[in-house]
Every structure is written in C-alpha cells, then in structure tokens.
Structure 1
C-alpha cells in the first residue's frame, strides 16, 4: 500500500519505532529491481551471523554483481561495503555521510483510510483507528486478537522486565505533564532500578520515536508532556480509561507528521508557532458547559497573538465568532483530512 514517504535516494537509512512499516517501505523499493540484482539480509533473523556476513559480504556483492544491498535491523557492527544502492533499517537514527535519513512514523489517519478495506464508511474506520491505533498490521488482524497483538508489540521493544516497566509507566502518563524525575521516583517504589538506567532507557525511546516529550513554549525548564507513537497502547496495558488522553495523543501524532515546531501553552494543548495556530482536543464539546474553559483558551490565544483556534472533537462541527480570532469546532476525521 502507498505511504506518503518513499525511498528516493540510492543510499538511505530508515529508522523508526517498532512495526511502523520500515520493512514494507524497503520491499516497495526492491520491487523495481530483479531478484538477482539485490541482496537482502535481516539481522533479526537468527540464521544470519554478523561475523560470517561481514567476512563474505564484499566478495559476494562483487562476484554476483549486486546493485542493491539491504541491511535490515542493522547495528553498524562492521564497515559498509561498496555498492551502488545501500538501504539500511535501524531503530535509532544514525548519520553517515552520503546517506539520506528517513524516519517512518505509523499511519496517519489519511493513510489509515487507504489501508482500511474492511469498513464501509469513515465513521467505522475512525472508530477502529481510535480504538486500536495506527500500526499497519493491526488493520488486517481479527478484532478479538488486536489487544493481544498490541501487548506483544509493546513487549517486543523491551529487552528485559526493567525496560518494560519503564515503557509502561511512560504509556500510562500520556498527555500528562510529568518530569522524568517524578516518573523515576514512582517506578523506584515498585521495582529496583537505577536513575542512570531509567534516564538512558527514556533517551533510547525518545531517539527511536517511540516516545515524545513535548516542551512548553519558551520554557525549556518546565515539565514536558508525554506522548507515545501509538495512542492505543494505553488501552492495551490498562483497564483504566483515559479517553481524553488517548484522543489528545492521537491528535499529537497527526501534528508531528506535519510540523516541527509544536509546543504546549497554559490552557492550549498544542501551539504551532510557524502557523500561529492553537489545537485543543475536546472530544465531547458543549459550548454552554465549557464556557469558562473556552474563555481561558481564548485568553491564552490573545496573549500569544494566535490567529486561529481549532477545537478537535469526536463529531461536533460549528464556528464561534470572536473579533480577533478564527475559532473552529471540527470533528477529528474532517480536521485530519483537511
């Protein structure tokens, strides 16, 4: 299936979190070559020994006139051989001179609709997207198996029980303003863990885009908000329902695909500095019940000279008049496709 991102350079390093579609991007690229022209090696395959590969790779490429080398799940354990095209997949981005870097995120809602052939209308697709998340493989799994598969994917990216507990506490705190020190202290009361191990693991998850830490605008020392690369992970690890948090995480993931300058403000969840826009997730918006909250949002927008506020909902659609601001109440599926 088509993705918005493609491999366009002969030497490319693809990185991204687990199960976001790195391999299928590579298969799509390889489909333009004849099988005898490429060599594909996956280092997560237990049959492939790094030492054997490194010893024989250069010679094999030369003897078989290989023009495309693919190294999947590569940890850069040996020097790269000479080859016209080299495509590497890895969890964590690495810069090498002459190589293009691509970071692949999960499906955004528009891509999800292209992949989703099961549902007859946009409402059904949206409900499935909201409940089970944005990973491509989940679309084709029977619904009763999806939560179990999400749990497996969470466990796959954790090398041990300690990493699992760290990842779990981060997921449990999505869309919350929590410092790493707070989370470390909470976790320390449950398991034996060093501060260095905790911070080091959080950095790994941040680097491979499994976890995002959103900064408050112009306040680097303020606590950051936490988001995870699949909003449905929370539903997979806990019976506690935090619908607003999951909905906000889903909206953040749509934004992170489009903008680099995303921040939060007091009373405003997402501030896009370059566009002078505020995005506020309120799943079930009621103008009369939320009048006080709306006043605070508008006040913050005026303070930062924001031009437009988009309040993202499940299904509400209306406009609110304001002399200085454009205020839209928009359903998620309409906003995500606009």
Structure 2
C-alpha cells in the first residue's frame, strides 16, 4: 500500500499559514472554489490542530497516487492506523467515502453530502491581500500590485518578473484541453461587458471547432466553480448579463488590448461579492446592492466637471429605484459632492475596500 503509506507520512506542521476571513471549522466539510484561491491552505490550517499520525492527506491529482489502491484499501488503512482526519483533495465522488471521525474534501462537483458543511473559498479581498503582502508597507504600492497582478495568494510570493508568467500558467493548468482554454480566454477577454453566451459562442466558433452544447455546459461549470460570474440586470431576467472573472488581472495577462476600466470594475465586483449575496447592475450603474440601497460605479479617473452629464443619468436611475447612496470608486481621487437628495461618496478603491 505504497500510496496510502506515502500519503500518511505527509506532514503539514511546518506550513506557514496566514489568516483568512474563512476557515474550516466543521469536522465534515466540502471545500469549493476556483483554481489557486487557497483551498488547500485552509485544509492545511485545519490539519495543524492534529498530530501528524492522526490524519491522512490524499491528493487525487498527484500522479504518484494509485487511485485504485485508495479505493480498495482506504477503509482498512483508516481503521488500522486509528486515523481521526481523512482529507481527499480534488475528489470526484467515484467511490464511497469510508467512515472517519472528520472528513475534509475539496471538490468542484455539485454534490450535496448529508452531514457535511459546504464552504466556498474566494480569492483574497484587498484587506486580506495587505495581510499577505509582506514586501510593501505602503498601501498605495500594495494597491498598485493588487491591481496589476490580482488576488491569488501564491502569486504574491513570486518575483516581479515571474508574476505574469505564473498567472498565465494558472489559466493553462485549469484548462482541461485546448477547447476549455479558448473558452476561458474569451470569457476573461470580455469581463465587465454585456455579452450573451450566444454572442460569445458565435465569436469563438469562427476561431475553433466547438459545439453549442460543449460551450454552454463549460460556461455553466465555470460559473458553478466560481471561476466566472454572470451578473444579472435588476428586475430584468431576460436582459444580457455582465461577465466577471474571479481574478481581475487575467484580462491584462491574456491580451495586450488595454481595457483598464473593465479590469478596475472587475476588481470592485470581487470586493463586493465578499460582503453581498445579491448584486445587480443597472443602466449607468455598475453595481446595485438592493439590501443597502447603494449604487457603485467604477470611474478610475473621476472629474466632476467632465462627468457631469454621466452623473445626471446616474441620478435619474437612482431616483427610479429609490437608491439613497452612491459610491464613485476611483484610483486615487477623493471629492465631496453635495446633493440635496443623495449621499455621494467619491473614494479611492483602497479607502473604500478597507472602510
């Protein structure tokens, strides 16, 4: 039983874990989330509460591991070693899970297990990013790196000249084949755009051979995995949805076409999903939070005089939806706008994200 013996010898006691806002606390947990958001490190953190002989860690994507051996002998091995915690990474539910006091699974397959708690790991929000970013003590410098290289924990530890290459590798690693890779690319290229899947499919099929079913099913799976988000328009179910990626920097690293506003809006969206379950968009309003009656617009380089006509359109839509407060998120601008009806906040991203 070479595989099980090798997995049993893995020791996570020396892992340097940095706090996240989410943790594995339930003894029976399924951990979900997009690629490289830190799912495994949450599991390592949980295992640090146990002695090394009390757990076994099995990664089913490790090519050294014999899956058939795991299926046949895992139950006996758990009882023989009196193991308290069983961890199975990238589980595909292709075999029955044996009994164990605590079972932690990572999987992106949509399957509910009785007695298990599901947690979804998101990429770093800006506050978490600052805790992880040991190189920079200056918030502005950290923000510049966050904007440029994104929110994946591991990328922080790469040298500057390797960060873009690593992000490109992350996309390739999660692509199951070339078709999957092209679907990821076209979705990342269209973040913060109102594009229907039918439009994207028609564009993609001029480039590669692909069936409509394959495209639609892949997009559905990517949405389930929290790799891609489709943002609906408020009270208009049939309206075209806006597309967002789980890492705003992917747009910049797959194309030389600069879409700075799109990237910036994607970054704001990701900050919002950490705190809000229901987010929508409206005409002239990037994000509408109905629960708090707030509108958020991304205007990287805001100027009251130049944006006056746009503001009038925003105010009109706020009036129609009884929205009380507007946040204008910028790169570095702070302004005070007085309005007799609305509370207007003009803030740099890093101030808004940390407030």
Give the TM-score taking structure 2 as reference length: 0.94
Distance (whole Å) between structure 1 residues aligned to residue 30 and residue 170 of structure 2:
22
Alignment match, 1:14: 31
Structure 2 residue matching 1:144: 3-state secondary structure: helix
How many matched pairs? 338
RMSD value over aligned CA atoms? 0.7
Distance (whole Å) between structure 2 residues aligned to residue 141 and residue 91 of structure 1:
27
Shift of 1:318: 1.8
Is 1:38–2:41 an aligned residue pair? no
Matches within 5 A, 1:310-321: 310-321=327-338
Alignment match, 1:89: 106
Shift of 1:91: 2.8
Distance (whole Å) between structure 2 residues aligned to residue 215 and residue 159 of structure 1:
28
Cα displacement string for residues 139-183 of structure 1 (whole angstroms, at most 9, x for unaligned residues)? 010011111100000011111111111110000000000000000
Cα displacement string for residues 32-59 of structure 1 (whole angstroms, at most 9, x for unaligned residues)? 1000000110001112122210110111
Distance (whole Å) between structure 2 residues aligned to residue 61 and residue 190 of structure 1:
50
Shift of 1:101: 0.2
Distance (whole Å) between structure 2 residues aligned to residue 192 and residue 45 of structure 1:
31
Distance (whole Å) between structure 1 residues aligned to residue 347 and residue 317 of structure 2:
20
Distance (whole Å) between structure 2 residues aligned to residue 79 and residue 24 of structure 1:
25
Distance (whole Å) between structure 1 residues aligned to residue 41 and residue 52 of structure 2:
16
Alignment match, 1:109: 126
Shift of 1:93: 4.3
Alignment match, 1:190: 207
Distance (whole Å) between structure 2 residues aligned to residue 324 and residue 81 of structure 1:
61
Q: Post-superposition, which runs of at least 4 consecutive aligned residues in structure 1 deviate over 3 A?
A: none
Alignment match, 2:95: 78
Structure 1 residue matching 2:210: 3-state secondary structure: coil
Structure 2 residue matching 1:88: 3-state secondary structure: strand
Structure 1 residue matching 2:288: 3-state secondary structure: strand
User: Which residue of 120, 138, 144 corresponds with 1:127?
Assistant: 144
Whether the 8 Å contact between 2:32 and 2:121 is mirrored in structure 1 is yes
Shift of 1:263: 0.2
User: Which residue of 160, 166, 170 corresponds with 2:177?
Assistant: 160
Distance (whole Å) between structure 2 residues aligned to residue 322 and residue 287 of structure 1:
13
Is 1:236–2:275 an aligned residue pair? no
Question: Unaligned regions of 5+ residues in structure 2, if any?
Answer: 1-17
Distance (whole Å) between structure 2 residues aligned to residue 303 and residue 324 of structure 1:
13
Distance (whole Å) between structure 1 residues aligned to residue 108 and residue 143 of structure 2:
28
Distance (whole Å) between structure 2 residues aligned to residue 94 and residue 331 of structure 1:
41
Cα displacement string for residues 190-221 of structure 1 (whole angstroms, at most 9, x for unaligned residues)? 11110000001101110000000000000111
Whether the 8 Å contact between 2:92 and 2:109 is mirrored in structure 1 is no
Structure 2 residue matching 1:111: 3-state secondary structure: helix
Distance (whole Å) between structure 1 residues aligned to residue 260 and residue 354 of structure 2:
22
Shift of 1:321: 1.3
Distance (whole Å) between structure 2 residues aligned to residue 183 and residue 149 of structure 1:
26
Matches within 5 A, 1:240-319: 240-319=257-336
Alignment match, 2:348: 331
Structure 2 residue matching 1:274: 3-state secondary structure: helix
Distance (whole Å) between structure 1 residues aligned to residue 140 and residue 188 of structure 2:
26
